[in-house]
Chain A
Amino acid sequence: GAVVSQHPSWVICKSGTSVKIECRSLDFQATTMFWYRQFPKQSLMLMATSNEGSKATYEQGVEKDKFLINHASLTLSTLTVTSAHPEDSSFYICSASVKGDNYGYTFGSGTRLTVV
């Protein structure tokens, strides 16, 4: 089946630095990818929708200059958390829609970001 690979699975960084998270579709082309943030014991919150070759669409309240999304190819989308602060610590998950699979959604394994 469709697989989405997300790296790294966990990362610790210092305040003020930037962190890049990658999301790759391994055996299919993903024209659309989604980035979510999950706080402890809460549901997933959609941050942005990433379309290959165009600018991402951010949800209300999500700072696009803070959370940079790039979807340069049909198999790779990246989320860069810029000038990270401790409040950015969270679990980030990407997903991709799979055309031809009744529009199912495959999720990456998630990235635990801790900013110290």
Chain B
Amino acid sequence: AQSVTQLDSHVSVSEGTPVLLRCNYSSSYSPSLFWYVQHPNKGLQLLLKYTSAATLVKGINGFEAEFKKSETSFHLTKPSAHMSDAAEYFCVVTPTYSSASKIIFGSGTRLSIRP
């Protein structure tokens, strides 16, 4: 069985400060993990993905995430927040090597950026 927990429903940071969005997962299989961003009334855009290669994954727009098996975590970080980063972020887990499997979404974290 798989599950994913996003620990914060809402995170608010000041522009120019670091961002940390937390995600913990549970998986019976070797997981693939993803972070997606969704702006209001838009579809989802892939930020980055982990598929059993390097544990530190760099994505678009300066985001990165580190896969920590011992902590079953895949937290999303960014050194310096920008106003355009304000959006909803979803952590997603799926079994690796199974393209037809269901993907499990976290409940989402809304990121707000203060000027």
User: CB-CB < 8 A to A108: which residues of B?
Assistant: 43
Is the pair A105, B51 in contact by a Cβ cutoff of 8 Å?
Answer: no
Given A102-B32, A102-B49, A104-B49, verify A91-B105 contact (CB < 8 Å): no
Contacts A43-B90, A43-B108 given; indicate if A103 touches B43 (C-beta within 8 A). Answer: no
Contacts of A61-116 to chain B: CB distance below 8 A: 91, 93, 95, 97-99, 102-110, 112
List A contacts of B96 (CB < 8 A): 102-103
Q: Are A107 and B103 in contact (CB under 8 A)?
A: no
With an 8 A cutoff between CB atoms, is B83 at the interface?
Answer: no
Q: Is the CB of A49 within 8 A of B102?
A: yes
Query: Which B residues lie within 8 Å of A112 (CB)?
Result: 41
Q: Tell me, yes or no, whether B107 is within 8 Å of chain A by CB.
A: yes
Q: CB distance B99 to A93 under 8 Å?
A: no
Check B99–A103 contact: CB distance below 8 A: yes
Q: CA–CA, A41 to B40, complex, Å?
A: 10
Size bracket, chain A contacts: 20 to 34
Q: Across the interface, do A49 and B100 meet the contact criterion of CB distance under 8 Å?
A: yes
Distance (Å) between the CB of A44 and the closest chain B CB? 5
A97 near B34: Cβ-Cβ < 8 Å: no
Given contacts A31-B99, A42-B107, A105-B103, 20 further A-B pairs with CB under 8 A are A6-B43, A34-B103, A43-B106, A44-B44, A44-B90, A97-B99, A97-B100, A99-B99, A102-B49, A102-B96, A103-B32, A103-B97, A103-B99, A104-B46, A105-B94, A107-B36, A107-B46, A108-B43, A110-B42, A112-B41
| Residues of A in contact with B (beta carbons under 8 Å apart) | 6, 31-32, 34, 41-44, 46, 49, 51, 91, 93, 95, 97-99, 102-110, 112
Give the interface of B toward A (CB within 8 A).
Answer: 32, 34, 36, 41-46, 49, 51, 90, 92, 94, 96-100, 102-103, 105-108, 110
The 6 closest A-B pairs by CB, nearest first: A109-B43, A97-B99, A102-B51, A107-B44, A110-B43, A32-B100
